[in-house]
Structures are given as structure tokens and as C-alpha cells.
């Protein structure tokens, strides 16, 4: 291999860079760097297609939680696919999720699976516990237990 060629980043490295740079550090250009132009993102509402459709979702969520942090607690890789268990923390100080900021601290978990090719995410499936997030923001009441 020529010395000027870098080995391809592993799917896990791409996933860790995605959460660290984009969500933890707020570097929006990470979307263009790590998301394939034809990427499809599932589980965040209607399927999101490509970086230009993902950016409004990111901007709204990041504006609602400007101090958001996402920690990958565990990741598993099989071939070109990575699965990660995440813990999300933040304070709801923005008005961009359809209601007034609550100043509530939230902490919830989620799981992400993604395929990676050429150092970019090509498809992604998300399953985050937004119900817990909404309950912690007092937007959804906890059910009464008998």
C-alpha cells in the first residue's frame, strides 16, 4: 500500500466520530463529511434522505439541547455494519421541538445500527427512548400505576 493512502476507517470509528464531532462538539460539517449523499436514516420520523434532509433535524434537536452529549456505551461490528448502545444527556433550553423550553435535564438511551462504506454512513436505523425524554420534560405524564 502506498504510504500516502490511509486505511479505511472502521464502521465503529465512523460511528464514534459521528457522535463525538456532530452531537458532542456541534460540528455540523460532520454531516457532509460522514454521511453519504444517498444515505437513508430511519427511526427519526419519516425516512430522511441524505445530508440536506438530515441537517434540519439536527439543527432543531441541537437547538433544543445545545449542551447535548451522546456517549457510546457499547458498540459491535459485523462486516460493514455497526450497532451502538448510546446514553444521551442534555438540558432542554431551546424552543425548536414544538413547545417551549422546559429547562429540564434529560437522560435517556438509544440504539443505532448503521452501514458504512468508504468512511461514510450509507444507511442508519435509530431507536431512541424519546418517550422517556418527553416524560422528563413533562410533555408526557407518567402513567399511574395501580
pLDDT of residue 6: 60
pTM score of the predicted model:
0.91
Is a pLDDT exceeding 60 seen at residue 1? no
Find out whether 129 and 106 touch, Cβ atoms under 8 Å: no
On average, the pLDDT of the chain sits at: 94
Tell me the average pLDDT across 14-29: 98
Q: How many CA atoms lie within 13 A of 10 on its CB side?
A: 10
76-129 pLDDT, tens digit per residue, is 999 999 999 999 999 999 999 989 999 999 999 999 999 999 999 999 999 999
Give the DSSP H or E segment for 54.
Answer: helix 50-64
- Architecture (CATH level 2) of domain 11-136: Roll (3.10)
Amino acid at each position: 500500500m502506498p504510504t500516502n493512502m490511509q486505511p479505511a476507517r472502521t464502521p465503529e470509528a465512523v460511528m464514534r466520530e459521528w457522535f463525538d464531532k456532530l452531537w458532542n462538539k456541534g460540528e455540523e460539517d460532520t454531516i457532509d463529511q460522514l454521511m453519504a449523499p444517498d444515505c437513508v436514516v430511519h427511526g427519526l420520523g419519516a425516512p430522511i434522505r441524505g445530508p440536506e434532509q438530515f441537517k434540519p433535524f439536527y439543527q432543531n434537536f441541537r437547538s433544543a439541547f445545545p449542551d447535548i452529549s451522546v456517549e457510546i456505551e457499547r458498540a459491535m461490528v459485523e462486516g460493514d455494519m455497526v450497532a451502538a448502545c448510546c446514553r444521551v444527556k442534555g438540558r432542554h433550553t431551546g424552543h425548536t421541538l414544538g413547545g417551549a423550553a422546559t429547562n429540564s435535564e434529560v437522560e435517556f438511551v438509544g440504539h443505532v445500527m448503521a452501514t458504512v462504506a468508504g468512511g461514510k454512513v450509507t444507511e442508519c436505523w435509530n431507536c431512541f427512548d424519546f418517550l422517556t425524554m418527553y416524560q422528563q420534560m413533562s410533555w408526557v405524564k407518567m402513567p399511574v400505576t395501580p
